[in-house]
Amino acid sequence: MTTKKTFLSEEFLPKQWYNLNADFPKPMPPPLHPGTGKPPTPEDFAPIFPMNLVEQEMTPARWVDIPAEVREVYRIWRPTPLYRADRLEKALDAPVKIYFKNEGVSPPGSHKPNTAVAQAWYNKAFGVKRLVTETGAGQWGSALAFATKLLGLECKVFMVRVSYDQKPYRRLMMQTWGAECVASPTDTTEAGRKILAKNPDSPGSLGIAISEAIEQAVQRKDTRYSLGSVLNHVMLHQTVIGLEAKKQLEALGDYPDVVIGCAGGGSNFAGASFPFIADKIAGKQIQVIAAEPTSCPTMTRGPYAYDFGDTNQTTPLLPMHTLGHDFVPAPIHAGGLRYHGMAPMVSHAIRLGLIEPVAIDQVETFESGLLFARTEGFIPAPETNHAIAAVIRAAKQAKEEGKQKTIFFNWSGHGLVDLAAYDAYLTGKLKPYSLPDEEIQRALKAIEKLPKIA
Ligand SMILES: Cc1ncc(COP(=O)(O)O)c(C=O)c1O
């Protein structure tokens, strides 16, 4: 019998995070201060983030030590098991071995606490008492609610309106862990009021919720903002996924030909793939695929350009694939993939040819998620279904080419709180949706006057 799951004992929980910035063959372009047009100084970030995380954001170090207390909390669910999806393999009848890292075993049910715990710890070490954030699907908000409670901080979450309505259970998870959760846009911030004046029924977006959270975070000295994806330090924290997976695959005597993840802001994909991309840079032949929705095709159809991370233009300008900061994605169920931008590190890696992005329609992703649930048992999050769809495509391609392939992908979270999305699919309400070109052209007007990447 094949080994179904490979555990690592707790002593192998990584002691350091891996920073791909140390190994890029060409350095990333810097972020820019929108006022000066120059790279921001650490002090520019000071009202938003604690200085220890700002330093981490900019560090050139290849390895960063994981604080002992962060490892102590990680121990609740890490190391996560590596599964062999042999039952899915059989159903696909393709010459592939499929492995996945199950990040759904964390208490909130996704990879997000890998960075939430780290960010809560660094904020606390800096003397911060309260964190404010945004959330799409509610995965990030629930992860930060969990992390802040365990580390003794307060937490407020702006939850994108459409997810707030679709996903009441994640709000309840946040409240169970003691956080305050409100539907964004709200009328309690300038940013929210501006949006509501234009569109009182706005479904909200991550870009808007980020603006609201930053606006409130800078109003109080004891409060900072926390971002669940996109930034370098978030990518860094997530690398525990790929580092553990490498050890687990090594124990099995295996190594992937293809590495796959879904990408909203890029963090679970980065966490799973960056340790393998380091090997690719060193000469290994690996295909690395990032999957996004056709309704929010940031990597596949958005230009690589400087843009704001939020709708209200409060963040520094980030060099990234973007659909424009005022783009409001359709209210698809994969709420965590509804973001106009993409992590600068992931965007840079695409530009260097290290990553291949693909866009997949939501109907195909749910077909894939259902096949997964009906073979492997676990019900994936709608976001994770994008990775599974890409895995199934890769398996079919291997079959067509008659090539043996080992595929590793990140199972970023479970879908047990997303069953309304499965209801929509099972009752035929979910329709294919690809973003029209005119909508992209309209949204990109917002970045026309911003500096270009050299
Ligand atoms: C389960 C799951 N997967 C993926 C994502 C996308 O985020 P990221 O690209 O940062 O991993 C989210 C975001 O909420 C999520 O909840």
Distance 340 CA to ligand 1 centre (A): 14
Burial group, residue 52, by CB count within 10 angstroms (0-12, 13-18, 19+):
middle
Among 106, 110, 167, the mutation site with the greatest number of ligand 1 atoms within 8 A of its Cβ is 110
CATH number assigned to the domain comprising residue 339: 3.40.50.1100
pLDDT, one tens digit per residue, over 420-450 is 899 999 999 999 999 999 999 999 999 999 9
pLDDT in the model for residue 386:
98
The rounded distance, in Å, linking the Cα atoms of 13 and 164 is 34
Residue 131 inside a domain? The answer is no
| pLDDT for 56 | 97
Please give the tally of structural domains in the chain. 1
Confirm if 394 and 96 have CB atoms less than 8 A apart: yes
| Start-to-end Cα distance in the chain | 54
CA dist., res. 291 & res. 387, Å (int): 6
Confirm or reject: Cβ of 382 under 6 Å from ligand 1. no
The DSSP result for 358-398, as a single string, is: EEE-HHHHHHHHHHHHHHH-PPBPHHHHHHHHHHHHHHHHH
Q: Is residue 355 part of a domain?
A: yes
Compute the distance from residue 37 Cα to the ligand 1 centre, in Å: 31
Say yes or no: CB of residue 421 within 6 Å of ligand 1: no
pTM for this model (two decimals): 0.97
139 CB within 6 A, ligand 1: yes
Cβ–ligand 1 distance for 50 under 6 Å, the answer no
Is 332 domain-assigned?
A: yes
Distance CA 449, CA 308 (A): 12
Does 152 map to a domain?
no
Q: CA distances (Å), 46 to each of 42, 50, 51, 52, 293, in order?
A: 7, 6, 6, 10, 34
Query: Is any ligand 1 atom within 6 A of the Cβ of residue 266?
Result: yes
Question: Which residues does 48 contact at the CB level (< 8 Å), separation at least 6?
Answer: 214, 217, 218, 224, 225
Smallest CA separation from ligand 1 atom 15, residue: 336
Residue 133 lies in a domain: no
Question: Would 430 be classed as within a structural domain?
Answer: yes
Going by alpha carbons, the residue nearest to atom 13 of ligand 1 is 336
Predicted local confidence at residue 214, as pLDDT: 94
329 found inside a domain = yes
Question: Phi and psi of 87, rounded to 5°?
Answer: -75, -35
Rounded Cα gap, residues 198 and 195, in angstroms? 5
For residue 192, the model assigns a pLDDT of 97
> Is the distance from CB of 399 to CB of 98 less than 8 angstroms?
no
Render pLDDT for 304-349 as a digit per residue (tens, 0 to 9): 999 999 988 989 999 999 999 999 888 778 878 889 999 999 999 9
Res 101: pLDDT: 98
164-214 residue pLDDT tens = 987 889 999 999 999 999 999 999 999 999 999 999 999 998 889 999 999
Residue 270 falls inside a structural domain: yes
Q: Are 421 and 415 in contact (CB under 8 A)?
A: yes
Q: What is the structure's pLDDT at 330?
A: 83
Range of the domain at 401: 67-109+233-445
pLDDT of residue 334: 81
Within the chain, which residues score under 70 in pLDDT? none
